Homo-oligomer: A and B are copies of this chain.
Amino acid sequence: MDDLSHSSSFVAKKDPTLEILKMLGINFGLSVAAGFLAYYLMKQYIPIFIQRKLYGFDQCKSEKLPVPEPMGVIAAAVYLIFMFLFIPVLFVQWIHEEISFPYVRLLSLLSAIISICTAILLGFADDVLDLRWRHKLLFPTLSSLPLLMIYYIAGNSTAMLLPVFVREFLSTTYLDFGFLFYIYMGMLVIFATNAINIIAGINGVEVAQGLVIGASIATFNIIQIFRLEHSLTWYQGLSLCIIGPFLATSIALYILNRYPAKVFVGDTYCYWAGMTLAVVGILGRFSKTLMLFLVPQVFNFLYSVPQLFHFVPCPRHRLPKFDSEGTKKLSMSLVQFKATDLGLLGRLFVWLFSTFGILYKREFMKDDERWIEVNNMTILNLILKFTGPVYEYQLTYFFVIIQLICSIVAFIVRFYIARLFYEVVN
């Protein structure tokens, strides 16, 4: 059910309504203000972070100077302040309409803010306390419960339109995943909150991910607002309104975090960004399209599985190696282990990855035993396998280009390839 689909607020089919344009205009203005405020406040808090001993050391620089961390918490706080101001702006027009008040819309927004706020709290606590893994998985799962419940209350579909050629086999047009779809959304939330955190550690790379994926979502929202029926556009607009200030505050953070980094973003930014992306995907009913934007993150996760689950030995840090004496460039970081240390699955993964050419592998003899050396299984090391040693800022650029290409491919898949399988593309 869309709780206002019968209202007169919307003018004509496929026309972006004045309402939505007005709301986007205000949002844009406030977003710009939020970006400037975030930049100004972060600059102010740099000495305070140093004074409170909240800093890390840049692993990829010759000079080890303290860099304030987690500065993401300031950007996130500004973001929240902005959202609190924006809620009344968005809903004041209906405030006297007891019957036609869009309760479900407000519920959706509030539950989204709860998830985002909780992710910020979790990230900040993780930065300060180094939380345990099981606590880090439990918290975002539970904090997304309100969001999923309201998805249910709103009567959103959990059915998937089947591709034309599959329909014949299953003799049905839609496949209703029901409860499984909620499991999927819960997993999406957990995945997204951690996805950005895994590709981290070189200047600018975390915020760059947030910016590219966020901008892709915003572009998608804008396309959909102009393409879709009126009853669906509001949630696309809402998604855009949640992403707008996120992009603005992220840009402010990026300016300080890009090479050479004056601040570090911390887990706070990664969790905040991941949760914001997941939440708009669910709210805007495009969680499957979102997965297309997250392909580099999904790839990185799958590529990391052998080390994350310890089928292959995993050192504490898997960052690319910085040559602080010589070239000042980054190269793949490597891990060495005895061939006999690998179990069956470990051997399988190493064979599979090296056969497909996505793993550097060298065998050598030491103390009469066969040793194996492979690169640490992260997308950043994989890029370095192909490019050879590069400067830190170059590595970030290469990664951003990959993320951008994936977004472009995602749009092609979403709007053109999908035509081959469905007669109508939403």
Contacts and interface: CB of A to CB of B under 8 A. Distances in A.
A81 interface: yes
A293 interface: no
Contacts of A280: none
Interface string A182-202: 000000000000000000000
A48 B113 CA distance: 30
B125 A125 contact: no
Contact of A107 (B84, B88, B103, B113): B103
B128 A128 contact: yes
Nearest to A48: B129
A80 interface: yes
Contacts of A142: 81, 84-85
Contacts of A412: none
Contacts of A81: 138-139, 142
A111 interface: yes
Interface stretch (A114-122, A219-227, A392-400): A114-122
A313 to B, nearest CB: 26
A94 B84 CA distance: 28
Interface string A119-145: 011001100111000000011001101
Nearest to A98: B1
Contacts of A104: 103
A106 interface: yes
Interface in A136-164: 138-139, 142-143, 145-146, 149-150, 152-153, 155
21 contacts: A52-B130, A77-B139, A80-B118, A80-B121, A84-B142, A87-B145, A95-B153, A98-B155, A103-B103, A106-B150, A107-B110, A110-B110, A110-B114, A110-B146, A113-B114, A114-B114, A114-B117, A117-B117, A117-B121, A124-B128, A128-B128
Given A49-B129, A88-B149, 6 more contacts: A1-B98, A48-B129, A84-B143, A87-B145, A117-B121, A120-B121
Interface of A: 1, 45, 48-49, 52-54, 73, 77, 80-81, 84-85, 87-88, 91, 95, 98, 101, 103-104, 106-107, 110-111, 113-114, 117-118, 120-121, 124-125, 128-130, 138-139, 142-143, 145-146, 149-150, 152-153, 155
